[in-house]
């Protein structure tokens, strides 16, 4: 429907629509020089000049201008809104993955509590006898999953705290205890991408039981290294200069030229295990591993600089450095708005440091300092989301990996959204 303009009159100018509440269309007011003046008698005439945004006159607004305005508005709230802070329901697709929940070394030594929350439910890892293992296998609802019902060595099972008759499929791989909380039968074997590279010594395996932010926001923070020179000024980024540009160069999992949304779609359609790449100009390789892991490989030009501000030379790649730090972060979704964090650190130098008495306390304190610096940002983001803010309003080029994670998550939860 188009509005006709009288010859000699000023052409109507359409205003770009403002964001409106979900379920209601934005309205655009259109007024010409011959438009009725304000007044109760002309109310009906004024109403007739109001058109829906999608039916607005195209006389003075081109498609390019509308597209530019859409880009200025950025991502809609639905891309990452307050609903994502809640735990997904038991039938949601994001549950149908193997979730690392404990370190095998700590579990067998009794160094950490075997109890843990996962998606709002309390579970415990219990060492049981043959009868208990048989009961666990019988309670698994998936036919053909008997071999996944209990850990072969020692007969460990994952049992519900609320109902001891309920169990989860469980397994051990690369030093991690994993469980399957989904409603679908496990269609993949235990992932084996978490082992430190050959020649590395594991120096720390830490469990931070309660991080007061939602696991997706913490994942996005870990996948964004551009904030490091501004945020981690007292820990690992101490002394880092601010580079002229920051770029995340992704590994080509699809054809050249694909954007972040294409890569995210590929994670779903091709059942890929994650997305990897390198941070330029930092000597850091990083990988997002489904469903909640961040694997990072850091080149260090100073052998003793771990945690003290590793200096680097711009343009040097991780593989070109003499010493390296390997990290694995596992962001386990515990309760709404909170995360249980597993952290493992390995080095390819200073192997003797592992045997220094009390060294794990040093690593724990260092990890808490780094996490505290991150929480200054992430708790603010979470608060904005609760109050209706758009934390992904205006993404930039170096947000690529975080965007890949968020879009993959939206698909996995079952809430695919248009951009």
At 279-324, the pLDDT tens digits run 566 777 888 888 999 888 887 765 444 444 445 555 666 666 788 8
Residue 143, domain member (yes or no)? yes
pLDDT, position 272: 44
Cα–Cα distance list, 68 to 42, 259, 262 (Å): 35, 18, 21
The predicted-structure confidence for 113-159, as pLDDT tens digits, reads as follows 899 999 999 999 988 887 887 777 777 756 555 455 455 566 888 99
- Sequence-distant (6+) residues with CB within 8 A of 416 are 410
Residue 82, domain member (yes or no)? no
Give 210's pLDDT tier (boundaries 50, 70, 90). Answer: very high
Residues 286 and 372 in one domain: yes
What CATH number should be reported for the domain holding residue 389?
3.90.380.10
Is the pLDDT score of 194 beyond 50?
Answer: yes
Residue 279, domain member (yes or no)? yes
Total domain count, the chain? 3
Residue 84, domain member (yes or no)? no
Per the confidence metrics, is the pTM higher than 0.85? no
Residue 418, domain member (yes or no)? yes
Cα angle vertex 277, ends 276, 280, to 5°? Answer: 155
Burial of 9 (0-12, 13-18, 19+ CB in 10 A): exposed
Dist. CA 196–CA 282, nearest whole Å: 21
**Which has the closest alpha carbon to 334: 164, 209, 221, 222?**
209
Residues 176 and 244 in one domain: no
Cα–Cα distance list, 403 to 72, 75, 220, 221, 415 (Å): 17, 11, 8, 11, 15
pLDDT, position 101: 95
Residues 176 and 56 in one domain: no
């Amino acid at each position: 429907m188009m509005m006709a303009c009288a010859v000699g009159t000023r052409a109507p100018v359409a205003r770009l629509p403002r964001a409106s509440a979900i379920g209601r269309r934005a309205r655009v007011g259109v007024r010409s020089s011959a438009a009725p003046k304000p007044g109760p008698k002309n109310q009906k005439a004024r109403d007739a000049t109001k058109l829906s945004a999608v039916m607005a006159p195209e006389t003075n607004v081109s498609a390019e201008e509308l597209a530019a305005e859409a880009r200025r508005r950025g991502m809609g709230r639905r891309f990452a809104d307050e609903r994502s802070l809640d735990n997904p329901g038991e039938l949601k697709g994001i549950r149908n993955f193997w979730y690392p929940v404990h370190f095998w070394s700590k579990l067998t030594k009794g160094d950490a509590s075997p109890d843990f929350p996962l998606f709002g439910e309390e579970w415990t890892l219990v060492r049981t006898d043959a009868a208990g293992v048989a009961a666990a296998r019988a309670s698994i609802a998936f036919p053909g999953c008997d071999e996944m019902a209990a850990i072969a060595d020692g007969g460990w099972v994952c049992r519900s705290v609320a109902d001891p008759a309920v169990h989860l499929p469980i397994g051990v791989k690369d030093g991690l205890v994993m469980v399957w909380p989904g409603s679908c039968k496990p269609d993949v074997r235990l992932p084996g991408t978490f082992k430190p590279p050959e020649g590395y010594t594991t120096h720390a395996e830490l469990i931070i039981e309660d991080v007061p932010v939602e696991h997706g926001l913490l994942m996005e923070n870990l996948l964004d290294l551009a904030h490091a020179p501004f945020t981690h000024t007292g820990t690992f980024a101490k002394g880092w200069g601010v580079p002229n540009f920051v770029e995340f160069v992704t590994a080509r999992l699809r054809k050249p030229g694909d954007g972040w949304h294409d890569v995210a779609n590929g994670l779903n359609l091709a059942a890929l295990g994650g997305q990897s790449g390198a941070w330029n100009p930092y000597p850091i390789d990083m990988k997002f591993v489904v469903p909640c892991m961040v694997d990072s490989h850091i080149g260090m030009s100073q052998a003793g600089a771990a945690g003290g501000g590793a200096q680097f030379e711009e343009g040097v790649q991780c593989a070109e450095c003499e010493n390296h730090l390997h990290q694995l972060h596992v962001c386990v979704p515990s309760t709404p708005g909170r995360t249980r964090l597993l952290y493992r650190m390995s080095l390819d130098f200073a192997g003797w440091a592992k045997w220094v008495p009390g060294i794990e306390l040093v690593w724990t304190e260092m990890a808490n300092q780094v996490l505290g610096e991150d929480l200054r940002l992430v708790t603010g983001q979470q608060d904005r989301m609760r109050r209706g803010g758009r934390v992904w309003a205006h993404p930039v080029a170096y947000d690529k990996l975080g965007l890949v994670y968020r879009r993959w998550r939206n698909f996995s939860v079952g809430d695919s959204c248009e951009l």
